[in-house]
Chain A
Amino acid sequence: MRKNLTMLIGIDLGTTNSLCAVWRDGAAQLIPNALGQTLTPSVVGLDDEGRVLVGLPARERLITHPQHTAAVFKRYMGSAHQTTLGTQRFRPEELSALVLQSLKADAERFLGEPVTEAVITVPAYFSDAQRKATRHAGELAGLKVASLLNEPTAAALAYGLHQREAESTFLVFDLGGGTFDVSILELFDGVMEVRASAGDNFLGGEDFVSVLIEGFVQQHPDLKRLLDPAHRQGDQFRQLVRKEAERVKRALTDQTSVEFSLVWQDHPFSWTVREDDYARLIDPLLVRLRKPLERALRDSRLKLADLDEIVLAGGASRMPLVRRMVARLFGRLPAVHLNPDEIVAMGAAVQAGLKSRDAALREVVMTDVCPYTLGIETSRQYGPGQFQGGLYLPIIERNTVVPVSRSETVYTVRDNQKSVLFKIYQGESREVKDNVFLGELELDVPPRPAGAVDIEVRFTYTIDGLLETECVVPESGEKKRLLIEKTPGALSADEVQAQLEKLAALKIHPRAQTENTFLLNRAARLYQETLGHERVVVGEALSQFRAILETQDERLIEEGRKALHRVLTDLEGEVLL
């Protein structure tokens, strides 16, 4: 019945690729984009007329127009970092909003009705600020964000429904493009319970690519200076070498030796990467996988033998070296029933189904945890009139099932203290300086001798990962609430309005032409990458296709497209997603 009111979709907003899916007819269905593919690269660019390009057509321009194209912006979510495209500056959530807008358009076309609400996935270890930014991105794209779902939980939802076993416990190992998450889940009687989550927000496939780039410039030290962001041609070189490194990384999945080669300013450079070279290079990254796994296992109070299955999610988990590492850590082989690229989006669709109370999902309940400890700054007295400040008082311990509300009582430290300043932090360290500051709240208290006034601090953490703090002085009834908003990089209402107007003013590249634009961009990129005869072929095909486009004859264009596609595919194979 709700279906008629609003259409809910699930979106996996990834570092490298984004997907959207919908719960329909009792199953999760992936939604194809204008190119007929389910994966849309999380790349945004402006074309020569200043129109917005999203996905593959934009990704093709990363090399030819690095100044007008942006990628990997999810890493900056929740910070004040800005990316310059042409003459305009964009915040990471605005770029994400453009990707979301494009996914929304795909979904509307696929479903034939307007989409207004979405479940968006975020890495489990995303902080409060990063979650806010994601939510904000959704709103900028014109989507009401029904809930934010943790990525490994999404993967588990998809896997758990797929499994439909009465009782099982499994670990989701989600190594995506930019983030690494581990969740341990228990499934019983239709209850899907997250027992523990842990992660690393700066560890993902992109880091493995970076390691390969490092290795490559070590072989060719004269290229090293090009990696400097200040270098004039650096942008273009970085995109070029990144693309090649990405290809090599993928090729290493089923080959033991791959040629890393690129043409820069008409000079060919190459490096033969063998699997053991690669293994040596990525060892520091693999070591970093260990900590979150250990922490999640410890927090879940489970033994390794209690785990029925290890579920892999995220594209980077396809890497054989990663799989080998997982097998070694757990002493068994991980499960690969579902496509690791798609599993998170499928889970998001399941959650969307749950949200819209779909009949098929009425018997499923999912509970998630708060992945980090939340608390306030306190002082401890160690002598008369002597205090040690900056100590952390945890209020909600990490891996507590949400929604949750917990309170602690604190006291004033000085005689006749007039007010108390509560600083709210997130993190695991004993001293607040090592934790992440979230916000602050000042409360007036009646003047009394030190310790005579008690204040109740209550933290409420909602299912969407939003934290509300309430401080009450029972004596005076003085009360204050704070929904954490004072996060660094957050915006005022006016700024948000300005952002909306800015995005509305942008012209979006017409969807119908996406395929042509993609092919043109790809051909232009290949022209730049190739040499000699191949370059002539690409140039020829490119000008032919341009001429055909001029005719505006649908049938001719269709054939021209096929022809150009064939030429390009002959040259470099299918485009990797």
Chain B
Amino acid sequence: MSDVAQHAAWAVLEIAPTPDTREIKRAYARLAKIHRPEVDATAFQRLRDAYETALELAPQLATTSADAALADSADGPSDAAPLPPADTALVTPQSDPQPEPAAPAAGDVISAALDHTAQTVRAWADELNPALDADDLPALQSALARCLGYPLASLAMVRQQFAHAVLNAMMARKETPLSAIDHASTELGWRDDLTLTREQRTWLQRVAQYRIRLQAEAVARGFAADIAPEAAVAHITSVLSEQQIDGLEDRPWFEMGLMLGLVEPVMAPLPVIDAIAAFFEWQDLAHLRRIEPRLVDFFLQRVQAARFEQNERDYEAGLRAFADDPSPKTADARHARWAARALLRQPHEPGLAFVASLLKPVQQHARAMLEEIETQHPALAAKLDPDAREFWRKPRPQLGDQPLRNLGWLSVPGALCIMYAISQMSGVEDWPGYPLTFWLPVVLGGLLSGVLLTVVLWHLGNDFVPSIARRIQLFLLAWTNRIAPGVFHPRVIDEIAVLLAGSVLPAVYTLSMALGPLNSDLTSNPIPPATLVKDILLLGLPWWLLPFRLASLVRTLWSLRGNAA
């Protein structure tokens, strides 16, 4: 929120910035009667936004002013009591639990008697202290029975005063065992006592909530062992209905107890936690966060950590299973499997890796997998062979998506050169009748030149060829878009690029044969037209592919008709 918006909020409300929500509400109420929601929606909305902003800002202002006050009183003796921690159930209210009865007026017999009784019951209550200190339930039981056995305790009024005194004594203690509270509550009838003060009742309520929490914790701890998620939820439902934990205020305490019990000391299985979270709708935890934010965060952290660990295990197992899967369905899956296998191989074998790396998709898959493993699964990354990681990290020479086709393309010029050279040396005219001794070196030489060319192109820069193709594509895209926006699809552009690339080489060769600039013999002694046609048909084989490529282009166009990008 910008400062401008903040200032605007106060301006709209027509008040100075204040931490007092009461004042903000008053201002809002006054203005809302002018800008009524049913009359002027826009003005009301402005007011409403300002109101909500102001209410959000108020607590911040309150802390700053409190800080200022604290700073002011820093040199003087500070009488501000430390705030009691609000997150434990058994904390005693800081206020004096028992207001001292007023001193009796002289001669006022009744009040003197009352005072005497009050003192007596307090003395009785003190008798319980040793048992409470020792956390000894039998001792407490007997002490309580003894006190209630005093003749004076048979009076209902005295008994009630005693009940209050014991309650106050317990409230004044730092820690009181739950069993002792339970016992005293049944003996002294606190539950049905309508004369309890607000503090006393709040304290008892907090005890009850603490108990619910403990119960829930115990329930959740039982889930550490193997248990079906449905059974866990069913168990919780039955506990809720048996213990009648259905007050809207009690339920959150139960939920918090569950939270703690589920992650401490042993983590419950994740499916159980998920089922419980779904049952209580824990996707929205605002209501619990209001009571104890630290517990909620702790729980979320633990669950997240567990989930992460689980993922880690799942990921590695999944990857290994995938690498061993003998029946990949598609070419892409086969490539991915090859990549996974090469990555996971222990130890790294450079030869096998090199062969695998010649396929571009394998390289891409391996690189992506490595990146994923290194960023998201460091545990698995540590298990991989460092050489393998090093090998796959950077792009390596490759033969594209379809290495055979590419190799074929690249081998053509070499093969043609060798063929030409052999024919010149041997002087044989009748091409189709050449023996195997002619074709073998031609093919092998062609392949070798193809590999060499690949390596040369690689060293020119791995992205050399793709970047040119990409540039042509972008250029065509830009122009076609300008001429006829949306007509040309990337697939069409691809077809055209392949068509152009495929026609360059045969065109060059055919032209050189026809014009013969490389052979001086040809100028003086031109090849007969019949031989030339035969040569073109045989050696200009790539030309034959052109009609297929053209057909493919038309097919692509046809399939895309009326389907703009």
Contact = CB atoms under 8 A, between A and B. Distances in A.
Interface of A: 147, 188-191, 290, 293-294, 297-298, 301, 303-305, 328-331, 354-355, 362-363, 365-367, 401-405, 414-416, 418, 447, 462-463
Nearest to B250: A331
B485 A447 contact: yes
B38 A416 contact: no
B38 A304 contact: no
Give the 5 A-B residue pairs with the shortest CB-CB distance, closest first.
Answer: A189-B29, A403-B41, A304-B249, A191-B29, A365-B32
Contacts of B28: 191
B29 A298 contact: no
Contact of A404 (B29, B45, B290): B45
Contacts of B36: 365
Interface in B25-61: 25-26, 28-30, 32-33, 36-38, 41, 44-45, 48
B247 interface: yes
B200 to A, nearest CB: 15
Nearest to B202: A305
A329 B246 contact: yes
B248 interface: yes
A293 B37 contact: no
Contacts of B287: 294, 297-298
A415 B33 contact: no
A75 B44 CA distance: 34
Given A190-B33, A355-B38, A401-B48, A328 B246 contact: yes
A473 B244 CA distance: 56
Contacts of B45: 403-405
A297 B29 contact: no
Given A191-B29, A304-B249, A405-B45, A463 B37 contact: yes
Contacts of A405: 45
Contacts of B564: 416, 418
Contacts of B1: none
A173 to B, nearest CB: 12
17 contacts: A147-B38, A188-B29, A190-B29, A190-B33, A297-B248, A305-B249, A328-B244, A354-B38, A363-B33, A365-B29, A365-B32, A365-B37, A367-B32, A403-B44, A404-B45, A404-B48, A415-B565
A293 B32 contact: no
Interface centre among A294, A330, A365 (most CB of B within 10 A): A365
B486 interface: yes
B485 A367 contact: no
Nearest to A191: B29
B286 interface: yes
Interface of B: 25-26, 28-30, 32-33, 36-38, 41, 44-45, 48, 244, 246-249, 251, 284, 286-287, 290, 481, 485-486, 564-565
Nearest to B44: A403
Contacts of A303: 249, 290
A447 B564 CA distance: 11
Given A367-B37, A415-B565, A462-B41, A301 B248 contact: no
Contacts of B246: 290, 328-329
Contact of B284 (A190, A298, A330, A414): A298
A365 to B, nearest CB: 4
Contacts of A403: 37, 41, 44-45
B170 to A, nearest CB: 22
Contacts of B30: 189
Contacts of A188: 25, 29
Nearest to B287: A298
A416 B41 contact: no
A301 B286 contact: yes
A87 B38 CA distance: 43
A330 B248 contact: yes
Given A403-B45, A463-B37, A189 B247 contact: no
A365 B48 contact: no
A416 B286 contact: no
Given A190-B29, A403-B44, A463 B38 contact: yes
Contact of B247 (A331, A362, A366, A447): A331
Contacts of B29: 188-191, 365
A433 B290 CA distance: 32
A406 to B, nearest CB: 10
B34 to A, nearest CB: 9
Contacts of A354: 38
Contacts of A447: 481, 485-486
A330 B486 contact: no
A366 B32 CA distance: 9
A415 B33 CA distance: 51
A328 B38 CA distance: 38
B290 A329 contact: no
A416 B248 contact: no
A416 B33 contact: no
A325 to B, nearest CB: 9
A147 B28 CA distance: 24
Contacts of A355: 38
Interface centre among B28, B248, B565 (most CB of A within 10 A): B248
B249 A416 contact: no
Nearest to A403: B41
A301 B248 CA distance: 13
Given A331-B247, A365-B32, A418-B564, A301 B41 contact: no
A506 B322 CA distance: 73
Contact of B32 (A191, A294, A402): A191
A99 to B, nearest CB: 26
Nearest to B35: A365
A367 B51 CA distance: 13
A463 B42 CA distance: 12
A298 B38 contact: no
A329 B248 contact: yes
A362 B33 contact: yes
A418 B485 CA distance: 11
Nearest to A368: B37
Contacts of A401: 48
Contacts of A402: 37
A331 B37 contact: no
A556 to B, nearest CB: 53
Contacts of B284: 298
A304 B248 contact: yes
Contacts of A304: 247-249
Nearest to B280: A294
A304 B287 CA distance: 11
Contact of B486 (A189, A367, A418): A418
A415 B481 CA distance: 12
A414 B36 CA distance: 44
B278 to A, nearest CB: 13
Contacts of B290: 301, 303
Contacts of B485: 416, 447
A143 B30 CA distance: 33
A512 B481 CA distance: 78
A192 to B, nearest CB: 10
A157 to B, nearest CB: 13
Contacts of A330: 247-248
A304 B45 CA distance: 29
B453 to A, nearest CB: 30
A189 B25 contact: yes
Contacts of B486: 416, 418, 447
Nearest to A171: B248
B37 A298 contact: no
Contact of B249 (A189, A331, A362): A331
B460 to A, nearest CB: 26
Contacts of A298: 284, 286-287
Contacts of B565: 414-416
Contacts of A293: 248
A54 B349 CA distance: 90
A288 to B, nearest CB: 13
A363 B36 CA distance: 11
Contacts of B44: 403
A84 to B, nearest CB: 40
